């Protein structure tokens, strides 16, 4: 496929946005390998300064960058601007994380020895990014990797290559050498080729659980390479004994439908107490009816735009039909107002009576409601998934939240907050099919360098006290 064209289409309008040439994996990995030794040998302070220049470049191009993300993903401009702010903020957060998680340290030694703990970069790391946050999420891998002294080959999603290209252009404009950060345009074939390339020392991946499982199997044969998996979730949000129904409904809607439901932390399952759920359902329904679903630059600003493309919209519709055929009761129907475009209105479906509910991540604006008789059953229902990324409890009291926190199986556990409310200075990751226990966020520094323990003295001092014959 090298030399062929890759085309990016605006999901909201169907307009061609960007064209580029599919890259050469061997060439880009070779360029990164050649550039890596000099980059790794630069003082950490130099790398920090260059990364701060990168943040300033992005800041100067923020509106242009946000506009491109909005057009390429379909997300509203306000959300694209928030993404750019996260890209800029990642630099200072990563510098702090490096100092806390992977800094050089002196340790106590015996007999005058100096014991030290230092960290070395792995070498050349591949980064595979998703379309949902085409700048923020890959940047969350790339910045810590560069600070640690790695070189990076970055392949963005084939659905958002223009945003990925602009991100890499900003690195180069800041003075980071072209060989140290490589942009690789391509589709699944190029992603597979990069992931399995013998010139890589590791892969940092954000994407679907299915792709993550395949990568995990492949990397089982190369334990010398680092693999980090940030995958999806079938995330529960439990609403229990809350006095403020409207506020709970707002948090549920934010959790489920921001980014048209295309967030790995989006709430997929709403768990409520049977018999006490009707006021909440009515409040959620009233909010859904008011949500503006439109093109990213519309006025007034939309709450959400389309899903990424018609293929994705078709799949979401098929999954909803499947739920209904299994016995799900639509409370708010999933509608597609423009048949030729991937706009979808939010759906709320009661699946309490659906036997053997599919445990999968429907990557779109679909929220499934399950009614349960008591809180113990609510926790059991929340844990009835192979995933374990995010979970949230709305309502209750500190004792109930303690019970929830202690028993829920997830890497992100919130109280009276959305499932997608994760602080930038905290680790980000999950259990089960949501990851491989290498969280990103603040802990990304952990998998961008490896520890080296040293015992050092200026003179050799040694003796053998036992086990020798007399001289």
Backbone angles phi, psi at 461, to 5 degrees: -130, 120
* Tokens 């057009």 found at: 71
**Exposed, middle or buried, 470 (CB in 10 Å: 0-12/13-18/19+)?**
exposed
264 is catalytic: yes
List 158, 264, 295, 448, catalytic entry: 264
Quote the pTM value.
0.95
Provide the token pair at 121: 């970069």
Partners of 202 in the beta sheet? 125, 226
* Residue 441 DSSP SS3: strand
Sheet holding 449-456, edge to edge: 105-107, 114-121, 449-456
Q: Which residues of 7-30 are buried (b: 16+ CB within 10 A; e: fewer)?
A: ebbbbbeeeebbebebbbbeebbb
- Walk along the chain (471 residues) and give the pLDDT tens digit of each residue: 556 899 999 999 999 999 999 999 999 999 999 999 999 999 999 999 999 999 999 999 999 999 999 999 999 999 999 999 999 999 999 999 999 999 888 877 766 678 899 999 999 999 999 999 999 999 999 999 999 999 999 999 999 999 999 999 999 999 999 999 999 999 999 999 999 999 999 999 999 999 999 999 999 999 999 999 999 999 999 999 999 999 999 999 999 999 999 999 999 999 999 999 999 999 999 999 999 999 999 999 999 999 999 999 999 999 999 999 999 999 999 999 999 999 999 999 999 999 889 999 999 999 999 999 999 999 999 999 999 999 999 999 999 999 999 999 999 999 999 999 788 889 999 999 999 999 999 999 999 999 999 888 888 888 898 999 987
Domains defined for the chain, CATH in brackets? 5-231+435-456 (3.40.605.10), 235-415 (3.40.309.10)
CA distance 351 to 328: 5
* Tokens 């006290």 found at: 465
List 10, 230, 295, 361, catalytic entry: 230
- CA distance readout (Å), 317 to 53, 266, 285: 44, 18, 19
230 is catalytic: yes
Asked if residue 194 lies in contact with residue 126, where contact means CB atoms within 8 angstroms, the answer is yes
For 100, residues 6+ apart whose C-beta sits below 8 A from its C-beta are 445
């Amino acid at each position: 496929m090298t030399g062929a064209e890759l085309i990016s289409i605006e999901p909201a309008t169907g307009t061609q946005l960007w064209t580029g040439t599919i890259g050469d994996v061997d060439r880009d990995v070779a360029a990164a390998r050649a550039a890596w030794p000099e980059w790794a040998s630069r003082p950490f302070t130099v790398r920090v300064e260059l990364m701060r220049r990168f943040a300033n470049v992005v800041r100067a191009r923020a509106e242009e960058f946000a506009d491109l993300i909005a057009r390429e993903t379909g997300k509203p401009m306000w959300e694209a601007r928030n993404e750019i702010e996260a890209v800029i903020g990642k630099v200072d957060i990563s510098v702090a994380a490096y100092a806390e998680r992977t800094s050089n340290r002196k340790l106590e030694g015996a007999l005058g020895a100096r014991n030290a703990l230092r960290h070395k970069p792995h070498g050349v790391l591949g980064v595979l990014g998703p379309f949902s946050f085409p700048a923020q999420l890959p940047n969350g891998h790339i910045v810590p990797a560069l600070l640690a002294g790695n070189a990076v080959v970055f392949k963005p999603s084939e659905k958002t290559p223009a945003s990925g290209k602009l991100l890499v252009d900003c690195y180069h404009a800041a003075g980071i050498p072209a060989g140290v950060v490589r942009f690789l345009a391509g589709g699944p074939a190029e992603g597979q080729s990069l992931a399995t390339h013998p010139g890589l020392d590791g892969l940092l991946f954000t994407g679907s659980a299915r792709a993550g499982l395949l990568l995990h199997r492949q990397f089982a044969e190369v334990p010398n390479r680092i693999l980090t998996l940030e995958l999806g979730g079938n995330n529960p949000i439990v609403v229990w004994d809350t006095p403020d129904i409207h506020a709970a409904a707002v948090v549920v809607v934010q959790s489920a439908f921001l980014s048209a439901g295309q967030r790995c932390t989006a709430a997929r399952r709403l768990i409520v107490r049977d018999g006490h759920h009707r006021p909440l359902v009515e409040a959620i329904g009233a909010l859904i009816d008011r949500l503006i679903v439109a093109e990213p630059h519309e006025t007034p600003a939309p709450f959400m735009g389309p899903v990424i493309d018609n293929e994705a919209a078709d799949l979401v519709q098929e999954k909803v039909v499947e739920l209904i055929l299994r016995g799900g009761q639509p409370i708010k129907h999933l509608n597609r107002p423009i048949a030729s475009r991937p706009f979808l209105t939010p759906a709320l479906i009661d699946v309490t009576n659906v036997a053997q509910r599919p445990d999968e991540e429907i990557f779109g604006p679909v929220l499934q409601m399950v009614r349960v008789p008591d809180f113990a059953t609510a926790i059991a229902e929340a844990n009835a998934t192979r995933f374990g990324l995010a979970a949230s409890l709305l309502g209750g009291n500190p004792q109930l939240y303690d019970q929830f926190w202690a028993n829920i199986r997830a890497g992100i556990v919130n109280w009276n907050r959305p499932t997608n409310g994760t602080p930038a200075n905290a680790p980000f990751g999950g259990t089960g099919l949501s990851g491989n226990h290498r969280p990103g966020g603040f802990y990304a520094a952990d998998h961008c360098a490896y520890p080296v323990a040293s015992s050092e003295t200026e003179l050799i001092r040694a003796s053998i006290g036992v086990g020798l014959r007399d001289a």
